[in-house]
Structure formats: C-alpha cells, structure tokens
C-alpha cells in the first residue's frame, strides 16, 4: 500500500471529507488530494511535504514519522539530486558575502552577547515548592503514588481515625470501556473538555477512559465498537460505517442506570 492509499483509506474509515480535513489541519484540499495520489511534486517543497505528512498523519491517527521515512526512501532522493545540480548556479564558490551581510553578522553577535548577559545576570524565578513536589496527570489517569500535602490530609473515602466512609450507592465520575471487535474504527475521546485520544484502532483492542464529569465520544465506524459506561453495556451505538457522536455524563449515567 502506497503512502497516498494509506492516507485515503484512513480518512474514509474516519468518515471525513477533504474539506473536513482542511478545516482541522489548515492544509488546502489541493495538497491533501495530491498526497493521497502520491503526487508530492505538486507540494511547494520537501520541507512542506514532511510537515504536511506529519500533520495529516497525526489527524488520522497514523504514524507520521513512518510515512515521512517512506517518502524519503521513495521520493526524496530524486529531489535532493536535482537540488545538487542547481546549487552551483545559485551560490558561486568564489563569491564573497556582501558588506551588508557582514554588518548583519556583527549585529547578531552583539545581540547574542546581550541575551547571554541578561540570562546569566537576570532575575531567576523559582516555582513554589508545592508545585514541584508532584507530577501532572492527564484526565482519566489516577495517581497512586502522591504524597500527602500536609499532616492533616487524608485519603479520599477515609476518616482521620482510619475508618472508611460509606460510599454505597454513589457513582463517582464516568468510566468508559470501548471494545473494537470485527473491524477497525477511527475514534476520538474528549474527557472533561480535554482531547485525550484520537486515532485509528484495530480489531480486538480495548480502550479505557475515566472522567470526573463527562466523556464525549466520536466513532468513525460505530458498528464494530462495543461501548460500556459505568458498568452498563450499550453495545454498538449504530451500524457498520456509521459516524456517531455521543456525550456521557455522570448525571446521565445515574439516570440511565436507575431506569
């Protein structure tokens, strides 16, 4: 499968048009179509090709670096060879740099020295110690190694005397399990307004997410993804090839579970 065929296949599985991709990636449809047809000579230059490939692949959930390496193997050598033939005409060996270039270089040296002095002698801002004792965690991932903030802190669900609170009947947050079955599907998951996953998932894979308030889900092939939220099995949200978006909240799940 060529680079272009892989891009087109992933986009179609995602259920997105070239216009949809343009709106999200800001890459013109002319260049998107060129990449899907392996017509990389239509793009402005090698640097743009690599950037466009990485950006497009990231949007589709593909390995951008692998596609760039494949492009280098199949298409880039010819472009490099052509540029080597053009270089002598553009930059003659015996030409000396003009006077204005020397002035610009001298100015750059002075500016660099000024920046260095400022960084060495300038003020240093140290973050509060409270902000550097722990590590940030993305939504949906619990931290089991955190240290107590002070002597009076206690674990959630426990009292100062060591007894545990009775939390029976209370649902904390939203837990989602996505099981991709007989095919592959593009999916996007937004947990508490933060995009935590976006990409193509193959068959027999399971993805789990957890949020405090809500989880927004988009499936490009709803007929192959089984959905379970807070222990309730929703099955397939639609048929094969159908694009579905759905929001699950803690409140909605409690109502659904109660009914």
Q: What length is written for the chain? A: 259
Residue 247 is predicted with a pLDDT of 95
Domain edges within the chain: 3-84, 174-258
Scanning the structure block, which residue is given the tokens 């799940």?
253
Residue 142 is predicted with a pLDDT of 41
Residue 141 is predicted with a pLDDT of 41
Residue 70 is predicted with a pLDDT of 87
Which helix (H) or strand (E) covers residue 51, if one does? Answer: helix 46-60
Rounded-to-integer distance, Cα 24 and Cα 27, Å: 8
Residue 79 is predicted with a pLDDT of 45
Regions of the chain where pLDDT drops below 70: 76-171, 251-259
Class of domain 3-84: mainly alpha
Residue 78 is predicted with a pLDDT of 52
How many Cα atoms sit within 13 Å of 25 on the Cβ side?
24
Residue 68 is predicted with a pLDDT of 87
For residue 111, give every residue at least 6 positions away whose Cβ sits within 8 Å of its Cβ, in sequence order, or none.
none
In percent, the amount of the chain with pLDDT more than 70 equals 59
């Amino acid at each position: 499968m060529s680079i272009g065929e892989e891009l087109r296949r992933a986009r179609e599985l995602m259920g997105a048009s070239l216009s949809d991709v343009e709106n999200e990636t800001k890459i013109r449809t002319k260049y998107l179509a060129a990449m899907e047809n392996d017509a990389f000579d239509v793009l402005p230059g090698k640097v743009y090709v690599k950037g466009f490939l990485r950006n497009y692949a990231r949007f589709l959930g593909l390995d951008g670096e692998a596609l760039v390496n494949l492009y280098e193997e199949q298409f880039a050598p010819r472009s490099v060879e052509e540029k080597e033939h053009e270089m002598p005409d553009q930059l003659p060996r015996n030409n000396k740099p003009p006077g204005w270039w020397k002035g610009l270089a001298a100015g750059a040296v002075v500016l660099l020295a000024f920046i260095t002095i400022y960084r060495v002698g300038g003020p240093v801002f140290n973050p509060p110690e409270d902000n550097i004792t722990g590590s940030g965690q993305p939504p949906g991932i619990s931290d089991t190694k955190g240290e107590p903030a002070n002597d009076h802190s206690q674990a959630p669900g426990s009292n100062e005397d060591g007894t545990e609170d009775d939390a029976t009947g209370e649902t904390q947050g939203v837990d989602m399990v996505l099981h991709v079955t007989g095919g592959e599907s593009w999916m996007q998951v937004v947990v508490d307004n933060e995009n935590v996953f976006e990409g193509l998932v193959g068959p027999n894979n399971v993805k789990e997410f957890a949020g405090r308030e809500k989880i927004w889900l988009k499936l490009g092939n709803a007929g192959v993804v089984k959905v379970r939220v807070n222990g309730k099995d929703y099955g397939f949200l639609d048929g094969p090839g159908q694009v579905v978006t759905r929001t699950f909240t803690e409140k909605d799940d409690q109502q659904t579970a109660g009914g």
